[in-house]
Every structure is written in C-alpha cells, then in structure tokens.
Amino acid sequence: MNDKDLKDILKTVFLGSCVLNIASYLISVIFLGFTLPIAAGLVCGTLGVLTNLFLLGRSVNEIVNSKGRRGNTRMFLGYLVRAGIMVVIVSAASFVSIPCMIGAAVPLIYPKLIYGGKTLLGRRKKTE
C-alpha cells in the first residue's frame, strides 16, 4: 500500500463517514431531539476511525518495507495501539454523556458499511 492508496482509502472513508454521520444524527433527532453531545460524539468517533485507518496503513507500509521482519509483533502492537485509541475516545465520551458515548461508538462500524455498500452498489470493472 503506497501513500496514494492510503489517501484514497482515507478520502473514501471520510466522505462516507460524513454522509453516515448526517444520517445518524438525523435518526437520533427523531428519538432525542437536537443534541450537541450526539454530534460531538459522531465527530470524535469519525476522527478516531480515520486515525486508526491512517495508523493501519502506516503499519502495513512499515512491515512491507521491512520485508516482513517481526511482522506479527508489529501488527499486534499496532492493533493494541489502535484499539487503545478507540477505548480512550469512547471512554472520554462516556464522561460527557451517554448519547455522546453512543455517538462516538457508532462510527466504529462505518468502514464496514462503506466498503460493504461500495461492493454492493459499485460498478464492476471489465477485465480484459
């Protein structure tokens, strides 16, 4: 994965997250009304997801460039760091309010929704 691939992934997830954040917020308005904690949680969770994807891409680049030396250790440590980031974000949001915590946790599933939707709705490229 080179820098261009990583930028494309981050751009795709960012744009998809913006759309899903708006949809999530509008759905929450039906149940909770207009609340700032939900919006703040969605933004913080999205920033956490983008940070995780950036760190994952950087970790993969480092492992590939090192020709796989200590790859398992690096991937495991990278996983712990990325999981720790999300734990810190969701935990910090829980100190604000429960709706903020829910808003911070919802973006964790965005990459699955974005790439699943892209696969289902995307056009297939013709192979030659």
Give the pLDDT score at 123: 63
Q: Which string of DSSP letters, residue by residue, matches the chain?
A: --HHHHHHHHHHHHHHHHHHHHHHHHHHHHHH-S-HHHHHHHHHHHHHHHHHHHHHHHHHHHHHHTTTTTHHHHHHHHHHHHHHHHHHHHHHHHHH-HHHHHHHHGGGGHHHHHHHHHHHHSPPPPP-
pLDDT in tens, 17-64: 999 999 999 999 998 888 899 999 999 999 999 999 999 888 888 888
**Overall pTM surpassing 0.85 (yes/no):** no
Query: Rounded distance, CA 85 to CA 99, Å?
Result: 19
Mean predicted lDDT score pLDDT of the chain = 87
